[in-house]
Structure 1
Amino acid sequence: MVIDLESERRVVEKYLAECSVQPRRVVLVDDGLNSESLATALEKGDVLRGSPAWGCIVATEPRAHRTYVEWAVRQGMHVLLEKPVTARDLRTDGPGEALGLVADHHRLTALAEEKGVTVVVQAQRRAHPAYQLVKEILGDVVSEFGVPITYMDIHHSDGTWNMPWEFASREGHPYKYGYGKLLHSGYHFVDLFCWLTEVNQHIGRPPDRIGLDVFAVDARHVDAQLTEVSYERLFGSARWRRHSGLPRPASLPVQPWGETDVIVLARLMDGSDVLTTAVLSLLQSSFSGRSWLELPEDTYKGNGRIRHERVTIHVGPLMAIQVHSYQDGLLGGPSPFEVVVYRNRELVGGEAVTRMTMRSGAEGSVVASDSLNNRAREQIVEDFLAADGRRSGLALHRTTVRVVSAAVAGVARLAQGGSGRSVVALDASASEWYRPE
């Protein structure tokens, strides 16, 4: 069965016309429903018509995630949930609503446990063979020598170039509701940081909290970075002026906008001691292959997005690991994934330098559809089909949701002239999980 918005009828019908397997029903709900009205419509409308369903894939605009997951879980369905876990409209009370993401996670986790179903979050880097190898190597050294990960640098840029008027009009990956990169692709890399640093729990004094400092660029800043003169030179005056009168961040100064780029400085601490420092630079207004003004039909992969991904990890003086994954901008072109491990071999053994290059496609495969990331996504789907939450079950995202929530709240406070600093407790039983600074 397919549930979607009435406004998406043409898109749904076109997609299904090309599918060999057809749904039993297509349910199109009113676009104007809020969360409560949507929940009521799903419950009272008897969407399933008495026919039980085993599972549900929730891949909607994330502000609707909580409602759909709650409905599915109450019906006894296992759920595959696209990231982020939930999102909220941050225009009125940005910091308060951002902190509510943790309450959403707690509520959905408790409900899934009560109903005996599995909710799997599509965070594919937990199933990525290269990152699994990296975590295994780190875990071995950290546990054997008692030295934590002391430094981590994660850079991700996805080349999402929005034209100024698209900030005000887009519903997919929106910014007009007060959130952006952190609740778009940024979630993956906060999760990667939290997941990899789990190895620090193997040392004698594991960290008990995370200190955060957040800096952000929002749509208003991007609108100032590229001027009218720049756009006219890039696209030509005649083409540009056909669009330049549309609403844009510069013309809507009161509107709070979600972040396009965010820098998160993190410190994993035990007492007053800092065990790990980290920098997460997460960019959307970055190098892009887009060279057109009009949005294409495929606004996800077909709008010039180019992914550049880099990770650097140090385990004190004992080990360093570099991860590089850069798309070259050519559709279907090569996208090697390289891992380089440097060891102080006189102390920890092994090779001084180990280089491993994993190609995106096996011999004879179609590279564009057989990337390591896509294979990892398939693994998460297989986990869902097996109702197996050991890799990326909802409960395992508790720390990630806390860090994302605190970072989003920091971005919202910055926009109000406040501070982006906070402390997040790692202990699940902590009476207070969050403290602004």
Structure 2
Amino acid sequence: MEQSYHLVVVGFDEIVANKYLPSIQAAKNAGHIESYSVLDLEYERQAVDARLRELTFKPETVFYLPDPRQRTCWDDPGAFVPILEQLRSQKHQLRIYIATEVKAHEPYLRYCVENQVDSLVEKPVVAPMLDGRFDPNRIEPTMQRLVRAAAARPAQHSVMTLSRYHPIYNERVIDALRDRMLAQEAPLTSFHLRAAGGVWNLHREFEEREDHPYKYGYGMLMHGAYHYVDLAAQCLSLNATVFPSLELEASVSSFGAFPRDQCSRVPVKFAQAFDDDAPGWSSRGENESRFGETDIVSVFRVREVASGRTVTLGTLSFEQTTPSIRHWKDIPPNLYNKNGRTSFVDMEAQLSTLHTVNVQCFDVPRGAGVAVDRIDAFARVSTRTNAALLNDECFNTEETFEGLFHSDSNRRLMQRWLSRSEDRSRLADHLLPMRITQALAVSLRVPGQPVTFRLL
């Protein structure tokens, strides 16, 4: 019989408490987990203690680390390694769930890889920092080192993201595309994905926030957009299934919008209602241009390296300045959906002159006032096919799906990882999505100029 293990949760925010703790408790009841501990930062003690008081399933131990913000390293191995080593000496086996802010992922993940401790890290995998600022050029080298080290030191390392166990994106769309591409020997020739985040932050919140911050030089890409970069990577990699001998490279060109642009993009009368219309909003003055992006729109091409022929054309759009459900100036206490986010995703994948599938998935808020933490999702999947050429096909089809919850796919991944059966979102599987993330982030720094990278 497989032995149970001690789980360490690094970063105990609202998501962990509300979304994943029931899965952790179920794993305890199933005998996978013997107990769990929490590791967080000292300046979060009050908020974490308040969450823990509400729980019936409490951690065995809680550890708080010194505030690292003044040292620009965010998580000092000298502070957390002794705690983890102490737990390893006391427990027969550790597994670690890394749920910190993304800028602190790397040292914890590196510890897990080097010490063969199973890990689950939140998306995106890493956000390398240099002198307190996001350095996108270091994403792939960091990932390569981690992936190589993990291959040499066997343990299970997985990444928490939306689009690996999603009933629509993965099981209804990608699986069907793969089967069709193999049957018809057709490449993916067009791919368009737009994710509208519906996020409304006020200017002061861009400076204040330590969770999903913009002040360290990263924004939408290293926040919610990674779910959909990962989805795009899975779709684009389907060409390797059909044409495994091809060497493909991609070029991407991008434009972005930033916090400094918000006063020109939000109508004045609504900004005034939020006391958010001051032109000199940033205490950083001329350095306000160093904030991370709120929106990014990109166009890309995938081509054969040997022949130079274009295989795939497409667009990627990750925007937060889209319809929100925020109507409060000050964030109400205990509200998870602080900035009123409500998303809409529109994805279309086309196989040459034969077939196209389009999926739209959007949030359906329930309730009124500030009770906006319950949000369902609705999906519509439609296809267009050359039925005159392909037997037993329809020219057009449409299916709708109601009562979805995006978080269900995250929970499925968590449950699989807790039971040691996760196999769709391993660390090595995220090398391509993180490579695309790097290209997009770098292209934002040279607006309109192409950035080329190896795709497959």
- SS for the counterpart of 1:50 is helix
Which residue number corresponds to residue 141 of structure 2?
103
Offset, 1:47: 4.6
* TM-score (norm. length: structure 2): 0.82
Which residue number corresponds to residue 10 of structure 2?
none
* 1:354-393 matches, cutoff 5 A: 354-361=397-404, 371=405, 373-393=406-426
Which residue number corresponds to residue 124 of structure 1?
162
**In structure 1, distance between residues paired with 2:233 and 2:52:** 38
Which residue number corresponds to residue 302 of structure 2?
268
Which residue number corresponds to residue 455 of structure 2?
426
- SS for the counterpart of 2:345 is strand
Which residue number corresponds to residue 387 of structure 2?
345
Which residue number corresponds to residue 397 of structure 1?
430
- The amino acid across from 2:181 in the alignment is V
Q: Is contact 2:106-2:128 (8 Å) kept?
A: no
Whether 1:146 aligns to 2:189 is no
- The amino acid across from 1:345 in the alignment is A
Point out where structure 1 has 5 or more consecutive residues left out of the alignment: 362-370, 428-437
Which residue number corresponds to residue 34 of structure 2?
none
Which residue number corresponds to residue 11 of structure 1?
47
**In structure 1, distance between residues paired with 2:231 and 2:407:** 16
Offset, 1:389: 5.0
CA RMSD across the alignment: 2.5
**In structure 2, distance between residues paired with 1:252 and 1:226:** 20
Q: Is contact 2:165-2:412 (8 Å) kept?
A: yes
Q: Is contact 1:118-1:388 (8 Å) kept?
A: no
- The amino acid across from 1:309 in the alignment is V
Whether 1:61 aligns to 2:84 is no
Offset, 1:229: 5.2
Q: Is contact 2:331-2:338 (8 Å) kept?
A: no
Whether 1:248 aligns to 2:281 is yes
**In structure 2, distance between residues paired with 1:303 and 1:5:** 23
**In structure 1, distance between residues paired with 2:380 and 2:342:** 17
Which residue number corresponds to residue 432 of structure 1?
none
Which residue number corresponds to residue 260 of structure 2?
220
Offset, 1:49: 6.2
- The amino acid across from 1:337 in the alignment is A
**In structure 1, distance between residues paired with 2:195 and 2:184:** 30
* TM-score (norm. length: structure 1): 0.85
Which residue number corresponds to residue 200 of structure 1?
239
Aligned sequence identity (%): 25
Cα gap change, 1:39 to 1:251, in 2 (>3 Å): closer
1:187 to 193, 217, 226: 226
Question: Which digits, 9 at most, give the CA deviation of each residue in 1:271-293, with x for residues without a partner?
Answer: 31111111111111211111111
**In structure 2, distance between residues paired with 1:170 and 1:93:** 15
Which residue number corresponds to residue 249 of structure 2?
209
Cα gap change, 1:90 to 1:181, in 2 (>3 Å): farther
Cα gap change, 1:347 to 1:185, in 2 (>3 Å): same
**In structure 2, distance between residues paired with 1:219 and 1:85:** 24
Cα gap change, 1:90 to 1:216, in 2 (>3 Å): farther
Offset, 1:228: 5.5
**In structure 2, distance between residues paired with 1:127 and 1:87:** 24
- The amino acid across from 2:299 in the alignment is L
Q: Is contact 1:264-1:280 (8 Å) kept?
A: yes
- SS for the counterpart of 2:377 is coil
Cα gap change, 1:91 to 1:179, in 2 (>3 Å): farther
Question: Which digits, 9 at most, give the CA deviation of each residue in 1:216-258, with x for residues without a partner?
Answer: 11111113323755522x34xxxx2xx7779734862224010
Cα gap change, 1:62 to 1:258, in 2 (>3 Å): same
**In structure 2, distance between residues paired with 1:102 and 1:258:** 19
Q: Is contact 2:73-2:132 (8 Å) kept?
A: no
Q: Is contact 1:337-1:360 (8 Å) kept?
A: no
- SS for the counterpart of 2:193 is strand
Q: Is contact 2:207-2:215 (8 Å) kept?
A: yes
- SS for the counterpart of 1:192 is helix
Question: Which digits, 9 at most, give the CA deviation of each residue in 1:185-231, with x for residues without a partner?
Answer: 11111111110122211334645111111111111111332375552
Which residue number corresponds to residue 84 of structure 1?
124
The structure 1 segments of at least 4 consecutive aligned residues displaced by more than 4 Å after TM superposition are 90-94, 227-230, 243-247
- Residues matched between the structures, number: 404
Q: Is contact 2:263-2:279 (8 Å) kept?
A: no
